[in-house]
A and B are shown apart, each in its own frame.
Chain A
Amino acid sequence: MLVSFEHVSLRYPCGRTVLDDINLALMPGLFYFLTGASGAGKSSLLRLIYQMEKPSAGRVTLFDRDTAQLYRHEYPALRRRLGIVFQDFRLVPHLSALENAALPLRLAGAERLDVEQHVKELLQWVGLGDRLHALPSELSGGEQQRVSIARAIVNKPRLLLADEPTGNVDDESAQKLMHLFLELNKMGTTVIFATHQKDLVRRYAKPILRLRGGRLITAREEAA
């Protein structure tokens, strides 16, 4: 099991319940859509996976490790097995596309020449071979998101978390990005793709995790 949630709840100190009694088990190699309206708890669920939140109740298991048993110094190694793509790209503004995409490899201590070669190939694969040295401010939204995807997969993660990756780009760019995620999934990476765009989800026959008011619901419940 790649990720499992057992009776997981997340409550903020103010008393607001963000996630309520979530149970799920994600198999490796699949592509999951995580859907729900804004505020349904999609980002919070992802934050629980990448260890930026701790559950108020229940158990989160990641790569067969109970995350409650993890020590702080074990987080970095765990997070390096994940790739994360954000809606707002989160690129470092004064670093080029090449430098941004290379960050995870440099953090892992890879050799400079290996890093450059690998990252150039990756940026070519996402269609940015001619924009290697461009700053984020010189790239369109779709291009920035492609740099962000390259950065997320540069370490060959087992699990790719995408939090509304097409939320800030036009339809054409969204299609191209979607194509990249599907390609990655074909290559064996498990993908959790959070989105509120129902038409996008309908186009692809993939398993769907539906969130409403912090609870996982079935397709029938959603239709009702």
Chain B
Amino acid sequence: MGMPSNLFATAFSQQRLGLMFSIIMVLMVYLGTLAIAAQAVLARTALTWGYDLQSRLTVEIPFIPDEDPLLKATKRDKMIAALRAMPEVADVTLIKDDETRRLLQSWIDDAALLDALPLPQLLDVTVKVGAALEPDAMQRALVKQVGEAQVYSHAGWMDKLFGFLTGLGVIAAVMLVLTAFAVVTVISVVCRAALVVQHDTIELLYFMGAPDHAIAKQFQKHIQALAIPASLIGFALAVLTIAMLVFMLSSLGGLSLIAPLSWVTVGGMMTLIPVGGASLAIVAARVSLLKHLRRLG
């Protein structure tokens, strides 16, 4: 039989310490959950895009006005054959004119203008894994063998995008660490304030032979009772926000921008935040309380 559970009940009700702590905890878990979800999605997207696009090239056969369709088709087939003959090339896919138009429709909604546009013929080239293929050398070879062609590598802009996404991921991770740091700091302040409020009772318990850990345990129980529901509320709000973002993104047609990933994995990672947040709060409270009690007793 330990101390009465309501021994320090007033510690967290005075000066609205408990309410203040709960609000901060809700915010921290909310931000932390959003940060880890963003981190997971961005890291996965960067990896997938990086893998997909760094191994691909686009070959453009420029538009020539009033070109004979038969000649145009022959040139295109020769280009495909030349590409397939290259040992570094794994696959060549023709991007049909309809597909090119469809891609442009997002920016040009005037059908007449779109039809009048001089569209080049595009070939999507996949390079074999590990093959070193220089876009410039490829372009020179194609010009020499078939005719005018432009080779575009995705690696250049992809590196920048990859760097940008990685940067966002790092920011999310830093945010997570800062949030954890903020939780620890807030708990230390709250515990200190609660100990000050209950100074007389603590001194009394010392007189009666209470060890530090028994007193800390009582305060810790109160922190636990505040931290667990606050973490769950913060988590629920974050899930709601993410659901809204996903809904908005999908209605805008942008969900395909995000790499396909297992929502179970993201959900699992997100669940770590309220569990980790509440655990961190309890451990931080205990460490902080024992430190402050050592000074008091």
> Interface on A for B, CB 8 Å cutoff?
50, 52, 72-73, 75-80, 82, 84, 90, 92, 94-95, 99, 103-104, 106-112, 115, 151, 155
Chain A residues whose CB sits within 8 angstroms of the CB of B6 once the complex forms: 94-95
From residue B223, how far is it (CB to closest CB) to chain A in Å? 19
Please tell me the size bucket of the interface on B: 20 to 34
Which 10 A-B residue pairings sit nearest by Cβ, starting from the closest? Answer: A80-B209, A79-B209, A76-B209, A76-B211, A104-B208, A112-B1, A84-B207, A107-B210, A90-B204, A106-B1
With known contacts A72-B297, A92-B7, A104–B209 Cβ distance under 8 A: yes
Point out the residue from B10, B200, B206, B209 that lies within 8 Å of A108, measured CB to CB.
Answer: B209
From residue A104, how far is it (CB to closest CB) to chain B in Å? 5
With known contacts A92-B201, A94-B9, A94-B10, A99–B208 Cβ distance under 8 A: no
Q: Are A79 and B214 in touch, CB under 8 angstroms?
A: no
Q: Are B211 and A103 in touch, CB under 8 angstroms?
A: no
From residue A34, how far is it (CB to closest CB) to chain B in Å? 17
Chain A residue with minimal CB distance to B9? A94
From residue A70, how far is it (CB to closest CB) to chain B in Å? 13
B119 at the interface (CB under 8 A from A): no
B254 at the interface (CB under 8 A from A): no
Chain B residues whose CB sits within 8 angstroms of the CB of A84 once the complex forms: 207
B2 at the interface (CB under 8 A from A): yes
From residue B217, how far is it (CB to closest CB) to chain A in Å? 11
| Docked complex: B245-281 residues within 8 A CB-CB of A | none
Chain B residue with minimal CB distance to A161? B207
Q: Are A80 and B297 in touch, CB under 8 angstroms?
A: no
A92 to B205 CA separation, bound complex (whole angstroms):
10
B3 at the interface (CB under 8 A from A): yes
Chain A residues whose CB sits within 8 angstroms of the CB of B297 once the complex forms: 72, 75
Q: Would you give the 0/1 interface string for B44-69, flagging 1 where the beta carbon is closer than 8 Å to chain A?
A: 00000000000000000000000000
With known contacts A72-B297, A92-B7, A92-B201, A77–B1 Cβ distance under 8 A: no
Chain A residue with minimal CB distance to B4? A99
List 11 A-B pairs, Cβ < 8 Å: A52-B203, A52-B207, A76-B209, A79-B208, A79-B209, A103-B3, A104-B209, A106-B4, A107-B3, A107-B205, A111-B1
From residue A79, how far is it (CB to closest CB) to chain B in Å? 4
Point out the residue from B203, B204, B210, B294 that lies within 8 Å of A76, measured CB to CB.
Answer: B210
From residue A67, how far is it (CB to closest CB) to chain B in Å? 15
A90 to B297 CA separation, bound complex (whole angstroms):
17
From residue A85, how far is it (CB to closest CB) to chain B in Å? 10
Chain A residues whose CB sits within 8 angstroms of the CB of B10 once the complex forms: 94
Chain B residue with minimal CB distance to A102? B4
